[in-house]
Amino acid sequence: PESGDTPAVPVPSPAPQEAVEPALLVEPMTTEKLFASASPAVVRIVVLNSDQAIIGQGSGFLVSADGMVVTNYHVVAQASSAIVILSDDARLNVQGLLAVDPEADLALLKVVGKNLHMLNVAPPPPPSVGVKVYAIGSPVGLTNTLSEGIVSGLRQVTEELMVIQTTAAISVGSS
């Protein structure tokens, strides 16, 4: 170098970096979009005795496009038969019970159908306390009623059973 020039210092090349996937940005769903998306899979269940008289009603939701419906066991425990009413007022006869868990108060019903709207059940872990939640049900027979709340507690009832406590209004018939 000539006098007054700064000597050149070799600069190491940066270490090669692995490609980093940009974070997926998911825009929160509005309550209106959530309801429009989920409500077609929510059903009203009318429970009948052996004389075909109505003895109760409740709510449930489709978990398969071919007609598997999750509801609370207490809704169908005394039923001789039941009818599932879809959000478009279509009526489907319950063909039978696929599974029941009285302790967890769950029942899986089967109706005949194709290409039915359905909901996907979220895998564990459960939502955190404080997370906003929504409930869609049929309180006193009023189909597809929406209520809002938060997860207010997670309760480990047994080793296998955890329940999610919520402040969303769950009225009679929304089970």
Which amino acids are annotated catalytic? 74, 105, 175
Tokens representing 121? 């059940």
Nearest to 101 by CA among 141, 160, 61: 160
Can you tell me the distance from the alpha carbon of 61 to that of 40, in angstroms, rounded to the nearest whole number?
A: 9
User: What are 44's strand-pairing partners?
Assistant: 59, 85
DSSP state of 128: P
Peptide bond into 125 cis (omega under 30): yes
Q: Residue type at 137?
A: G
